[in-house]
Structures are given as C-alpha cells and as structure tokens.
Structure 1
Amino acid sequence: MKRFFIILLLLLLAGAWLGQLMVQDPGYVLLAYKETTIETSLWVLLLMAIIAFAILHTVINLIGRARVPAERVRSWRGRRNQKIAQSKTLKGLMALSEGNWWKAQRFLTQAAERSEQPLINYLAAAKAAHEQGESNAADNLLQKAREATPKAEVAVGIVQAQIQLSRGQNEPALATLLHLKRLAPKHTYVLKLLKEAYIRLNDWSGLNQLLPDLRRHQALPDEQLRELETLAAGHLLEQSLSSQPAEADSKTRLQAVAHTWQALPANCTHDTNLIEQYIGLMVEAGSADEAEKMLRDQLKKHWDEKLVSLYGRIASSAPHKQLDTARAWLKKHDDSPALELTLGRLSMQNEHWGSAIKHFEQSIELQPSSEAYAELSRLLSHLGEKERASEISTRGFSMVNGTLPLLPLPDEKAEPAQSAAKL
C-alpha cells in the first residue's frame, strides 16, 4: 500500500511537470507531403503516436490469440491420436502373444495409421497376417514398413526372411539374407538365419564358407559350430564323389575326393567319423590301395579302435602286406579287440582260416561284439561246422537283442507237416 501511494505521488508529480511544460511551450510540428500539410502541437503529436502504438499492439495481440486455438486443436488431435495408437498397439501385441492373429492384425494396422513411428506395428501386423496364411497382406504390410522407415531395411528384411523360411521359400529367403549380410555383415541373427537357409537348401559349400563368420562374431556356441563344421564337411565329401560323371576313371574320382578333403578345416581332418567316411569314399572311387596307405599313416599318428576295425575292411591289392602290418601292431596293442577282429578279417583275405578263427575268438574274449560273432559264425558255417556256427550265431544274437524269454518250441525231430498243422 505504501508503495502504491509513492508511485501515485510520482505520477502526479510527473503529470504536473508535463502540464507545466505544455502550458509554457506547446511546441509546433508541421508535416508536409506533396500538397498536403498537417500542423499540430508537439504534445498532440506525441499523444497520437502513443494512441497509434496502443492500437497496433492491441491488433497484433488479437491476431496472435486468434491463432492459439487452432494450434491447441492440432496439439489436442496429436495427443489423442497418439493415445489411441498406444492403446491399439498394446491390444494388438496382447492379441499377437495370445495367438489371436486376426485381432492382432486389425489393431496393429489401425495403430500404425495413427502412430508417428509405425514400424513396429507394421512388422508385428505382417507376422499376424502370415500366421493367418494371408501372404499378400503380409507382403503389403512389409512394404508399408519399408516406406514408413527406409532406414530400417535390416529389421524389415529379417522379418521378411523369417516369413519366407516359414513358407518354405528357401531360395527367396537366401537372396534376402545375402542382401542383409551385405548391409550388416556383423549381425549375428542374420548369420543364424543364413545358416538355416543354407541347410534347408543343402548348400553345404555356402555353409562351409559362412562358418568363419559365425565363429568370428560368436553367433553360435563352439559345440554347435563344430557340429555344423562336421555336417558340412561330410556332405561336401559325399558330393565330391557323387558329382563325378559315371565315365570318370578312378584317378579322377580320387582326385576330386582328395581335393575336397584337403580343403576342409584342420579340425575336420582329425575327426574319426570323417576319416572313416573319407576312407570309404576312396575305396568307392576304386582306390583301395591309396585308402589303405592313408589309413595306415593315420593310425601311426593316432591309434583309434574304430579306424583299426575299418582297416580290416579294406581289400587292397596286397592283403599279405596288410596282414603283416596289422601283426606288427600287436606288439603295442595286444589287448585291442578291434585289432584282433581286423587280424581275423585280414587272415580270411589271405585264406588263413585257422588263424582267422583264433583272432575272432580272441576279439570276443577281449570284448564281445556282434561283428566278431557274425564273422566267426560265417567262417565256421562255410568250413562245415554248422553246429558250432549255430551256437556262435545264437550267442551273438543274444548279445545284440538281449536274452529271449523261455518259450515252448516245436520238436526238432517232428515232421514239418505236423508242426504246420499246429499253426
């Protein structure tokens, strides 16, 4: 209150002072423009200027206030659209998680039309459309996602590749994924999907070339990578021989298999199963002698029971040398059932029937196996020892299939007709 009176007093003093100035000297102002002149006092001109400024300021404020309601309306509409989009997006995602594909597609598509960032809505709606089998709708939604967010090519491409793989469109999926790999070479999920596409297409060469990227970017666990490496190597070896023309000679076929083997990663060339496959392919290519030499060198480096057993299956042009080689191994591996089985087979190749029987029996004594029983039974049968062969065969059958229950059996001396009559 005190301040108000002070201000009022100052205004009165200023007014009195201005009034005194106006009385003492009103001033004179002349404005002329062409033939028009305006004469007035200085104080009247100042008053008119103040009034004009006040009118102009008022008009500007009125215009500004007239624009505010329109902006408020637009802002309100934007907030309302965003709220509706969020609500429908939530409903659509819930329907998607519940497997209600039609409802999910409808809500997500509606939300995308109102959303400022519709990418997620379009992608999820495309998945819902795909689950309903609406291929055209899914493709259209993916195209809308691309147009709405051109920079999201990788995200859109991943969903497209997933849908293509799910449809069984493996070749288009491969093309999509190779494009994505060029855009994002370190994207681990793209690499995983690309791996899946190669396997579905039986493109083992492509998978083999992809494996270093999978390992470099740690896209898969080491154990799974080793399995894929072995899988690809096995198929590549198989294809190396099957792709050769029927008229190709043994040398050409062997070179094809050997070239593939040498191109495999080092881990694969030490895998027992792959070595066994390689040896088998060499024999199939008509190069049993080269297979025998390769396997012999491999066993010198690393003794393996499975490969030792395989050595006895190779029928080289010099079976007596094979037998001598295997006999020399007995000095260090006299407790190897696989070696005894191999010695028995090599003895049969050299027609040493007695030695073969002893080696088969020794193999069974060290570790009974169906192969040793079968070989011994076959040999005894051809030597005329039918009863003993039958006994050995029964023992081998029991080992493989387990002990059979005690059941009544027909009398061996009964006439066939009498036995048949009881059936």
Structure 2
Amino acid sequence: MIRLLIYTLIILAGAFVGPKLVENKGYVLIAVGDYTIETTVIASVLMLLLAFALLQLLEWLLLKIAKTAGFTWRLPSRWRQRSSRRFTLQGALALAEEDWSLAQKAMSKGAGAGELPLVNFLAAARAAHHQGDREQAEALLDKAAEFDNSEAAVSIARIRYRIQDGEFASARQSLEGLSASLRSRPTVLKLAHELYQKQNDWDAIARIAPALVKHKLLSETEAAQLPVDIESGALNACTDLEPLQQRWASLPKKLKKQDQLVLSYVNGLIRFRQPTEARKLLMEQLDKKQPQPQLLALLPLCSEDASESLIQVLKRQYSNVEDADLFDCYANLSRQSRQYREAKRWQRKAIDLAPTKYRYSQLAELQEQLGEQHGALDSYRHLLDPSLS
C-alpha cells in the first residue's frame, strides 16, 4: 500500500514537472580550457544517468573478473577440501561399521585439508587403537595435540586407551598430570573411577565418590552401594591381619551388618588363619529364619575340628528349614570330619531340592570315596544334562 502511494506521488510529480521542463528547457554550459559544451538541462541529466549506468556496469564487470580469477586460483584448494570431506564421510561410516582399518586410512587422509583436522586425527587414533597398533595411535594423538584447544580431548583419549591396554601405571601418571579443572570433569571422573577399581585403590575411589554422586555418574542403586563396595574392596586388598582388623574396627556399625562386608572380612580372616574369629562372626551374621547361601559356603572353610558341633548348632537353629544350600553346608562339614556316608546323604537331599551340575559332581566324588563306582558314573552322566545349570 505504501509502495503504491509512493509510485502515485512520483507519477503526479512527473506529470506536473514534465510540462514545465519542456516549456523551460534551460541550458548547461561547461567550459574546460578552450573547449566549451552547451546543452539543455534534460540532456545533461540523461547523460549523467547514462554515465552512472556505465560506471555500475564497469564495476560489475571488474568484480566478476576478480571473482572468476579468485575461483580459478582457489580451485586446487577447493578440490582438496572436497576430497577431504569425502574421505571424512567415508571414515565416519567406517567407524559406524567398526571397519577400523578403513576408518584409520580415510580419517587420516581427510585430515589434510579438512575443516576439522583435530576430529579426524582423534578418530584415526581410535581406529588405530582398536587394531592394536599402539605406536600409530600415539603418533596420531601427537598430531592431534598440535592443534589449539586439543589438550582435554587428547589427554582423555590417551588415558582411556592406556586403561584398555592394561597400562594402569602409565594411565595413572597421565591422570595425575592433568590440571585440577580437567580432573573434575565428569568424563575424567568416570575414567578415574574405572582406573582406581582396576588398581584396587579404594581410598582413591572414596576421595572422588562425592563428585561421582554429584555429577550423577552412578545410578541411584550404584551410588547407595558405593560405600559398601569401597570398604569391601579395601578389606579384600589388605595384605596383613593387623590392617584388616583395623579397617574392620573403623567401620560404622551399620556397615558391619552388610553381608558383603562380612564376607570380605571373613575371607580375610580365613586367609590369615583366624578361623575361630571368622566362625564366630559368620554364626552371628546368619539370618535366624533363612540362612544366607554365601555365608553358609564359608562355614566349612573355618570349621576345623568344630565341624561336627557346627552341624548340631545349625540343626538346632534351622530345625524346620529345608534348603539346598544348607544341606550343601552339612555335606561339606561332614566331609571334613570324614563322615562320607553322612555327607552323601546331605548331598542327595540338596540335589532333590535343587539339582545342579556342581552338586552332582560333589556327589560323584563322595561316591568314589565310598567305592560306589556305578553310582559315581551315574552322577557323572548328569553332568551332560543340558537342562542343568
């Protein structure tokens, strides 16, 4: 609407001014040295418009020539960039297909004139690592490190590959060499958690546990289980009796009720030949109604000469319990006191409740010990049953 109004005003102005210009043409006189030019106002205006149009045309031609020359000059560079994009795409597809050899070659070629050579070198290093070529992976990471803002990505990739290769000491050194800001990143925290687990450095895991929970790197279940895992791992890692007992004594009462921690501590006591303390703790930890299978499995390992009395204690406590794991425990305790027939009887009871290949193998050994060769052969045949676990 506004444009239409403007056009209307221009037409009206032309209709008004045009006749005036025709009646009063006027003149323009231009004198340069000995030369003079005289013309009408209308002709001079037309010549000015024509001159302006010619200048515009000349400018357009010059720009066109310059662009054409520049395009021709940059043509080889454009070809290289196009080739790099093609190789990068090929490498990305090869990575998706896990064709590591092709991915490494394509990504390396695509880095030459590529738009993001840092990404190409990192991807090529990943492909080289998957092929087990550590030297080539390190060389590609070194090339990636030459670019700006590459420290974090290269360092994290290098630590991850060393952990996967089992070079834990080297990975730990690289991890500790990172700046504090990098070590606090979620990706690095996750790598640190994995590395500390493999090194059994549970105190180090305890130090980063708050950050792991804060950044939600663990599920709710894993976060709740983490303190137990830390203490369990620390107990298992003890190399002497005194530090084992000190670690256990320092635990809160709530944690001492956890079956997993009791198992770790009892295993340590058995390892350091403290069967009496181990047996006492196990008996206290056993549930009054339904005994825990993992605790029952440890009882024979710390029974020594108390095996027969232990059976009597368990019978009184679980007089009405029919449980295959409990019967396994009875069988193992009887075996330790060389009561093989009694052990066979308990082992058969366990098999009647829950037949497994392991229980049949235990029964077969007892039958061989008693000279029951045919019975042992029959038990061994059950080991071939695919329906048994």
TM range (shorter): 0.5 to 0.7
1:396 aligned partner:
346
CA distance in 1, matches of 2:281, 2:343: 34
Aligned partner (choices 238, 247, 256) of residue 260 of structure 1: 247
Which aligned pairs between 1:186-335 and structure 2 lie closer than 5 A? 186-187=185-186, 189-225=187-223, 229-240=227-238, 242=239, 254=242, 256-261=243-248, 268-278=255-265, 281=268, 305=291
CA RMSD of aligned residues (A): 5.1
Structure 2 unaligned blocks of 5 or more: 1-10, 351-358, 376-389
Structure-2 residue corresponding to 1:70: 69
**What whole-Å deviation, never above 9, does each CA across 1:222-267 have from its counterpart, x for those lacking one?**
4445565444322312444x2x5xxxxxxxx54x334423555776
Hey, what does 1:140 align to over in structure 2? 139
Post-superposition Cα deviations, 1:271-313, rounded to whole Å, max 9, x if no partner, equal: 12312443565687798998899889x7699998457998999
Letter in 2 for 1:166: Q
Matching residue's letter, 2:234: L
What is the CA deviation profile of residues 327-363 of structure 1, one whole-angstrom value per residue up to 9, with x for unaligned ones? xxxxxxxxxxxxxx99934xxxxxxxxxx8x657656
Distance 2:143 2:107 in 1: 13
TM-score (norm 2): 0.61
Q: Which residue of 1 aligns with 2:166?
A: 168
Alpha carbons 2:197, 2:205 under 8 Å: kept:
yes
Conservation of the 8 A alpha-carbon contact between 1:312 and 1:343:
no
CA shift in 2, pair 1:73/1:390, >3 Å: closer
Count of residue correspondences: 329
Counterpart of 2:153 in structure 1 is 155
Asked whether the 8 Å contact 1:180–1:190 carries over to 2, the reply is no
Q: Is the 8 A contact 1:299 1:308 kept in 2?
A: no
Q: Which amino acid aligns with 2:219?
A: P
Distance in 1 between the 2:85 and 2:161 partners? 26
Q: What letter corresponds to residue 170 of structure 1 in structure 2?
A: F
* Shift in CA distance, 257/374, structure 1 to aligned 2, threshold 3 Å: closer
CA distance change for structure 1 residues 281 and 200 in 2, over 3 Å: closer, same or farther?
closer
| 1:97 pairs with 2:96 | yes
Query: Does the 8 Å contact 1:154/1:180 carry over to 2?
Result: no
The whole-number CA distance in structure 1 between the counterparts of 2:89 and 2:265 is 57
Q: In structure 2, what residue type is equivalent to 1:344?
A: S
Deviates more, 1:125-134 or 1:399-408: 399-408
How far does the alpha carbon of each residue in 1:53-107 deviate from its partner, in whole angstroms, 9 at most, with x for none? 969x859836555433234446766665544333221211222333433332222
2:256 corresponds to which letter in structure 1? T
What displacement does 1:115 show? 1.8
Identity %: 21
Distance 1:74 1:360, change over 3 A: same
Sort the Cα spacing of 1:66 and 1:218 in 2 relative to 1 into closer, same or farther, 3 A. same
Separation in 2 of the partners of 1:299 and 1:105? 56
Conserved? CA contact 2:259–2:285, under 8 Å: no
- Of residues 7, 17, 26, the one that matches 2:25 is 17
Query: Which whole-Å CA distance do the structure 1 matches of 2:120 and 2:290 have between them?
Result: 58
Contact 2:202 2:230 in 1 (8 A): yes
Instruction: Give 1:399-418 correspondences, 5 Å limit.
Output: 399=350, 400-401=359-360
Q: Is the 8 A contact 2:300 2:332 kept in 1?
A: no
Assess if the C-alpha contact under 8 Å between 2:182 and 2:188 holds in 1: no
Structure 1-normalised TM-score? 0.57
What secondary structure is seen at the aligned counterpart in 1 of 2:140?
helix
Which one-letter code corresponds to 1:274 in the other structure? Answer: L
Q: Unpaired runs of 5+ in structure 1?
A: 32-37, 245-252, 316-340, 346-355, 382-388, 410-423
Which structure has the greater CA radius of gyration?
Answer: 1
* Residues 201 and 283 of structure 1: CA distance in aligned 2, closer, same or farther (over 3 Å): closer
Cα gap change, 1:15 to 1:136, in 2 (>3 Å): farther
Provide the C-alpha distance between the structure 2 equivalents of 1:123 and 1:391, rounded to a whole number of angstroms.
66
Q: CA deviation at 1:112?
A: 1.8
Distance change in 2, residues 1:63/1:257 (3 Å): same
In 1, Cα distance between the equivalents of 2:99 and 2:286? 64
In structure 2, the CA distance between the partners of 1:257 and 1:314, relative to structure 1 (3 Å rule), is same
1:204, 1:235 within 8 Å by CA — same for their partners in 2? Answer: yes
